[in-house]
Structure 1
Amino acid sequence: MSKKQWQGWGPAEQAQQHYLVEPRSLAGGGDVRHVAEFLRASGWTDKSKRDRMVLHSPDRNIRVSYDPVSHPGGWTIHSKATAHQPEWVAALGTQTPVEIVAGLTDALTQPRSAHAPNVWAPLQEQKWRTVPGAKHSTAASPDGTAWMQFRQEPDGQAMWCAGAGDQNGNSWSATFSTTTPMHLVQAVSTALASPEPVMRPRGRVPQSPQIRTTSVSVLPSQLSAWQQRRVDAARALTWARNWRPRKPGTTDPRLTTSYARTAHR
């Protein structure tokens, strides 16, 4: 384990010990606010209950929920059928790192790319290997702890699955219904294959011989600033998506109303 220290600490704050964890697929669930706060900043409605996080998209077609209590629990992302897309469901286990869940949920707030999605491409870029002799098309991470799979069943049904696990039993899995949009599955494969470590506080790092950690001392204000940047990015994207320029020669109706009220005083 290596150790690293942040410089420039303020005298009024006490640094806290955290760990940068690699590979991210084995880092444990993490803080669900990483997902929830981004969605709220993107205009999603929070309908959470005491033991369950629930958020609805602005058009009410998609629901993201997290249930840590019931069995098997975990994340469920459900979309109603629309004129352009059949109903679909994605389920990810409780120990799925929130950074990987966010790969999917962040993508729900953004326009689709014009390029055709390719689930395998992010894995190939990170040197994942095809598993020889596997019943279904499967790619595994270089250390063998994470995998992505495309299953073609005899009845013609096809679906994507993903997951990770170590020798100590730390594991999670994710399944995507046949109708799940491919760009969302690719968003998950991109987040899963990312070589970037994720941060976990002291006491929240799974015990595993296959995990590499770097100890870092972090100020509460630094953590807040990192979280706020993510929220600000979501708000900026939402504003840019919803902003509509006025036609040339038109006047903002709010200004007209304000002027009319002033004139009649």
Structure 2
Amino acid sequence: MHTPDDPNRYQEVLVSPMYLAGTGGAGDAGFAPVAHWPHHALGDTPCQLLVTSPDHRIRIGWFGDDFELWKINASEDALSAPRWTATFNHVTPPEIIAGLTTALARDYAEADAYDDNAPFLADPSLYWADAVRPLTDAGWTRDGGAEGGTAEIISPDRQAGFLIDNRLSGWDEETVTLWAGPPGWGTRAEAVFTARTPSHLIAATAAVMADSTPVIRERHQIDRRLEHLVTLAPVGPTAGPQVSPAPTPLDVRRTAVTQAVHRATRAPRTAADLRVMAARSRTASSAQSVSSSLAPAAAARPPATSPSPRHGR
């Protein structure tokens, strides 16, 4: 863990595996695929930023102070109850959320307006293996020690997994969990999907976890309890060209979500202990850096208009 006066504290590094890289202090990468959709800043409410498809059938909520940082769902129409819901906790790298939001943006673009057969409303496959194919293709293997009625696929380093719980039968039951990192509120990333989530959307999320491309973080953003599990390489002339283009901290800080981060750090913490702990995990220095880097870009944009613990392992 780097002390506040450590000159390497803010050094940018390439982190692998990506699923242990944490949030990086902002969630911009998760919103990037839907940057062209309507954004609704909800102020001092639990859901501080809501991004919706133009017809409001897809909703992407960012809860800046919560343990469950992202909630994403889709409905047959704007007023219907969600057909399915995906929830991501405060440790989940935003690049993983971007896997889902990218697939949703593509599905929406391919669907006709108000199409009941839109891909993002499709029934899940009868075969759970369809949702995990990106992982098995990448060498993840089935864990023979999973409880009866469940199936689990484990990464080669055994630091991440995909759990399917077939014991639950209700459509609103949370039947699929993607996880990474040791158990603990600050170390384990979790993405949870309800039973009716289309399999191709889960697979798109899983595919990002299977990707071996490193992501960029500042050194202080790596949890000290995970340092021995990740590989860090300084970002420099020799390292840069060897990786696929990925959002840098300067890139990802230029969207509206960082305004919500700025507000969240100044709001009084009056929620339950778990929410307080999650909010404190985003350091004041990181929040200040994010908000200051966003200010010029935010000033240049016209104001947005509005059209209308997870269980431990």
What is the TM-score with the length of structure 2 in the denominator?
0.59
Whose helix proportion is higher, 1 or 2? 2
- Within the candidate set 15, 37, 46, 1:44 is matched to 37
* 1:25 equivalent in structure 2: 19
* 2:57 equivalent in structure 1: 61
Q: In 2, Cα distance between the equivalents of 1:68 and 1:95? A: 12
Identify unmatched segments of 5+ residues in structure 2.
1-9, 108-118, 241-245, 256-313
Amino acid across the alignment from 2:101? T
Kept after mapping to 1: 8 A contact 2:37/2:53: yes
| Offset at residue 217 of structure 1 (A) | 4.2
| Offset at residue 67 of structure 1 (A) | 0.9
| Count of equivalent residues | 206
- SS of 2:234's partner is strand
- Within the candidate set 170, 187, 200, 1:170 is matched to 187
Runs of 4+ with deviation above 6 angstroms: 222-226
| Offset at residue 50 of structure 1 (A) | 3.6
What CA RMSD, in Å, does the superposition of the two structures yield over aligned residues?
Answer: 3.2
| Offset at residue 216 of structure 1 (A) | 1.1
Q: In 2, Cα distance between the equivalents of 1:32 and 1:130? A: 31
Kept after mapping to 2: 8 A contact 1:90/1:174: yes
In structure 2, the CA distance between the partners of 1:223 and 1:109, relative to structure 1 (3 Å rule), is closer
Q: In 2, Cα distance between the equivalents of 1:210 and 1:216? A: 19
| Offset at residue 224 of structure 1 (A) | 7.0
Amino acid across the alignment from 1:199? I
Kept after mapping to 1: 8 A contact 2:62/2:70: yes
Q: In 1, Cα distance between the equivalents of 2:151 and 2:192? A: 15
What is the TM-score with the length of structure 1 in the denominator?
0.68
Percent sequence identity over aligned pairs: 28
- Within the candidate set 29, 38, 49, 1:34 is matched to 29
Whose strand proportion is higher, 1 or 2? 1
Q: In 2, Cα distance between the equivalents of 1:39 and 1:22? A: 26
Q: In 2, Cα distance between the equivalents of 1:156 and 1:61? A: 22
Does structure 1 residue 216 correspond to structure 2 residue 235? yes
Identify unmatched segments of 5+ residues in structure 1.
1-15, 232-265
